[in-house]
Amino acid sequence: MTKQAVAFTSPHFLATQAGMDVLQRGGNAVDAMIAAAAMIAVAYPHMNGLGGDGFWLVHQPGQKPWAIDASGTAATAASPDWYAQRSLQTIPTRGAPAALTMAGTVAGWQLAQDTWSAKNPAEQVMPIADLLAAAITRAEDGIVVTDSLAAASKKVADELQGAVDYQSVFTRHGSPVQPGETFRNPALAGLLKLLAEQGLQSFYRGQVAEGLAQHLSACGSPISLDDFTSYQAQLVTPLEVSIDGAEIFNLPAPTQGFASLLLMACYDCLAKADWPEAESIHALIEITKHVFALREQWIADPSQVPVDLQQQLSAASVARIAAEIDLQGVAQWPRPAQGGDTVWMGAKDADGTMVSFIQSLYWEFGSGVVVPQYGLVWNNRGSSFSLVPGIRQLAPRRKPFHTLNPSLLIDHSGERIAFGTMGGEGQPQTQAALMMRHRYRQQSLADAVSRPRWLLGRTWGDEDHGLKIENDLDADIVAALESRGHSITMVPPRNEAMGHAGMVKAMTDGGADAATDPRSDGLALTSG
């Protein structure tokens, strides 16, 4: 087989370099993503880490895409009664009671490599020790603190002032880290070394698991050692939807992948070739409102989903839902919104395998519960559970609703695009914006990712539910949206609140293209 061009993109240049190094050494896209996932856990500790969750979408030419759900389940002890006994009416967003779901991302790394090996028995995977080596070195030697990390550290300073373990690992003697400083995490380097020596499964069984479980329990989390030993990442069937000339794939519940697919499909159903950009943006905003309402009714732990999500993505269902959307007016908003903070990365290897990948702690620095022995912070994804009856009510071993969702498009020509973004409510919206600009308006990947964006609802750590638009968007477009009745808040250009988007394209001739978001500290590389 003729070797193809390789590509990698991520929101932090160190992760891109780690992934590209594996690809240039002949490694596959799955191995490259594991190396990058470990590196970005070191470089962007406010947004993701080994104490969080992950989702994978993988496609090899000529095969059906496959997906991994590496999200954590609620602790066996976690229940509404557990919180009632502690006089808690809602699940906190910070502290030990917020650390109630398992961390799944490391199990996802292992399952991704195992699945790739099973599907490609003649091919070799790289040893885990080799894939973690660069991240270990960087955790020991230190990273340069980015504006993003510094801003997140400053933002949580008051909220986590009393979190002694967080203070000991992630602050400078109690003060937030500053841009340009060197931040070292030798304890995380030690954890990665143990995983390199003992295997990734040791995170859940053995010395590492015992240390993590002991600390979480001592802090007051409901998570026990049994929750570690019983946890498994899952191989799942992706959802898919057809648009004109292509299929788009994403993750099933508990992610909002359904919302991303339905949003793009409804736009494809309603869009007209002669629409000006203002009309396209207006349509996407109104479609978003309708789709998010369905998301809130339907997306939860898979056992609680009341409809067949794949059936709801059939051509007939999409046409019916699209017909319900009124593009002549402006629907009421806000609704209760979902936050979120994460990293998305994409890869293409020399054999054409593509990976769309996302990894998260939920909010910046997750629950704020830090295990100083291992230098990692635990996620607070379980705070999206409810304590009252409904499809998202907390129960042992259930999965909470996830904003995380990586996408992949396969064109009937053979061209493929992995794409995604961080940003809570912004993820489906930005994915749709990328497709609108690249596929429908023929903009380059770089332009589709970098041009001014909009956001309806909340992004990571943000409480504003309204419509926000970067103020370098063409004034005529903004005026046209206001004339339609949209209430708009203008924000500075290249605003991190709009998320960190990225795209990787596999060409039919074996070439590749990639783009990263100027709102991040990212890098997009292609070679060959």
Residues with a catalytic annotation lie at 342
pLDDT (mean) for 400-421: 97
Residue 424 has pLDDT above 90, yes or no: no
Bigger pLDDT: 462 vs 431:
431
In percent, how much of the chain has pLDDT > 70? 97
> DSSP assignment of 445-508, as one string?
HHHHHHS--EEES--TT----SEEEETTS-HHHHHHHHHTT--EEEE-SS-GGG--EEEEEE-T
- pLDDT, tens digit, 9 for 90 and up, residues 77-126: 999 999 999 999 999 999 999 999 999 999 999 999 999 999 999 999 99
Residue 49 to residue 256: CA distance in whole angstroms: 21
- Judged by average pLDDT, the poorest of 60-64, 227-231, 334-338 is 334-338
pLDDT band at 332 (very low <50, low <70, confident <90, very high): confident
In percent, how much of the chain has pLDDT > 90? 93
User: What does the pLDDT read at residue 334?
Assistant: 59
- Looking up tokens 């809130």 gives 296
Taking the alpha carbons of 301, 304, 306, 310 in that order, is the dihedral positive or negative?
positive
- Looking up tokens 């795209």 gives 503
pTM for this entry: 0.96
Residue 20 has pLDDT above 90, yes or no: yes
- Looking up tokens 């103020």 gives 471
> For domain 239-339+410-527, which architecture applies?
4-Layer Sandwich (3.60)
- pLDDT, tens digit, 9 for 90 and up, residues 488-497: 999 999 998 8
pLDDT band at 342 (very low <50, low <70, confident <90, very high): confident
DSSP structural state of residue 315: H
User: What does the pLDDT read at residue 23?
Assistant: 98
Residue type, 114: D
Residue 180 has pLDDT above 80, yes or no: yes
Which helix (DSSP H) or strand (DSSP E) does residue 347 occupy? strand 341-348
What angle (nearest 5°) sits at the alpha carbon of residue 203, between those of residues 221 and 129? Answer: 150
pLDDT band at 200 (very low <50, low <70, confident <90, very high): very high
Residue 150 to residue 146: CA distance in whole angstroms: 6
pLDDT (mean) for 201-207: 96
CA atoms within 13 A on the CB side of 439: 26
pLDDT (mean) for 52-73: 97
User: What does the pLDDT read at residue 338?
Assistant: 53
pLDDT band at 1 (very low <50, low <70, confident <90, very high): low
Domain ranges in the chain are: 6-235+341-384, 239-339+410-527
Taking the alpha carbons of 447, 452, 456, 457 in that order, is the dihedral positive or negative?
positive
Residue 459 has pLDDT above 70, yes or no: no
Residue type, 332: Q
- Judged by average pLDDT, the poorest of 289-298, 337-346, 361-370, 442-451 is 337-346
- Looking up tokens 């069984």 gives 205
Nearest Cα to 356, choosing from 368, 343, 366, 338?
343
pLDDT band at 528 (very low <50, low <70, confident <90, very high): confident
User: What does the pLDDT read at residue 335?
Assistant: 62
User: What does the pLDDT read at residue 340?
Assistant: 59
User: What does the pLDDT read at residue 466?
Assistant: 76
Q: Is 402 helix (H, G, I), strand (E, B) or coil?
A: strand
Residue 458 has pLDDT above 80, yes or no: no
Q: What is the mean pLDDT of the chain?
A: 95
Bigger pLDDT: 386 vs 335:
386
Residue 461 has pLDDT above 70, yes or no: no
CA atoms within 13 A on the CB side of 56: 34
User: What does the pLDDT read at residue 464?
Assistant: 52
User: What does the pLDDT read at residue 460?
Assistant: 46
